[in-house]
Chain A
Amino acid sequence: MDTWIEALVALFLLIGSLFALIGAIGLYRLPDFFMRLHGPTKASTLGVGGMVIASLIYFSFRGEGVSLHELLITLFLFITAPVSAHMLAKAALQQKLRISEQTRGKPWEQ
């Protein structure tokens, strides 16, 4: 395998892991539950995306033909991540979890 392809794979792996790390930092740093929800839904999609692209390039250049089934991971992630975030948010609303004082607007009661 060419050096530059290896470099490209390494670059995408680094980008992916960097974003996964940022998502984890968000989970640790942000003050309340609803804000913490933003970390995993967003920063992690690009994290997984970077690793998927790295895997795609690596396996496509190993000489066994183009490998595209990694794309399915992204597809399923885009379908499932918002749904799980929504369910978590709904559960948190029902449990009336503590909301940070900076928050404007109030969740409704129904």
Chain B
Amino acid sequence: MKARRWLPHPLLSVCLLLVWLLLMNDLSLGHWLLGALLGWAIPLLTQVFWINPPRVHKPFKLCLFLLRILGDIITANLQVAKLILGSTAKLRPAFVEIPMLLEDELALTMLTSIISLTPGTVSADLSDDRKMLLVHGLDVPDPDALVAEIKQRYEAPLLEVFTCSPT
């Protein structure tokens, strides 16, 4: 309990340290210390603003998932490039509603961002009760297949990593 009070978000602290080191482009001891100080002080000072700290249950799985997203982003770019250069009259754009199982705010933010970054989809709106997500697809031959793909490929791993949903 005490450790959590003095280091509220260990993962955030590590991220801040890494970002600081990258920002300075310098791996000397001084910057490690300064980065560690910032990584410790910033989460502590902003603690009040964090509504409920998200708990990551499987960090390793999260890393694998992020790597796969990176691969998906590259294929998404190639696909969208092909669609843009092809005939625009043949495109089948669609609005698709996807029911959400995630409840945690950070996990939801991640999912909507991932949807925006990956194959031909942009998340357009979240319903007021956070149960439905409106997604616009650039070329959707089969809306149901798109919903199934997003749920299985992106939502399921996030649910597993953040096990925050009652399901």
The yes or no answer to A19 lying at the interface (CB within 8 A) is yes
- In the assembled complex, the CB of B123 is this many whole angstroms from the nearest CB of chain A, namely 6
Taking CB atoms and an 8 Å cut-off, the chain B residues in 82-113 that contact chain A are 84-85, 88-89, 91-97, 112-113
Question: Does more than half of chain A's interface fall in helix, strand or loop, or is it mixed?
Answer: helix
Contact of A37 among B91, B127, B128, B136 (CB under 8 A): B136
- In the assembled complex, the CB of B148 is this many whole angstroms from the nearest CB of chain A, namely 16
Among B74, B91, B120, B122, find the residue whose CB has the most chain A CB atoms closer than 10 A. B122
Give complex CA distance A29, B73 in Å.
22
The yes or no answer to B47 lying at the interface (CB within 8 A) is no
The yes or no answer to B117 lying at the interface (CB within 8 A) is yes
Q: Which of B2-10, B19-27, B50-58, B158-166 sits within the interface?
A: B19-27
Q: Chain A, 67-83, contact with B by CB distance < 8 Å: what is the 0/1 string? A: 11101100100110111
- In the assembled complex, the CB of B95 is this many whole angstroms from the nearest CB of chain A, namely 4
Binding site for B on A (CB under 8 A): 19, 22-23, 25-26, 29-32, 34-35, 37-39, 41-43, 45-46, 67-69, 71-72, 75, 78-79, 81-83, 85-86, 89-90, 92-93, 100, 102-108, 110
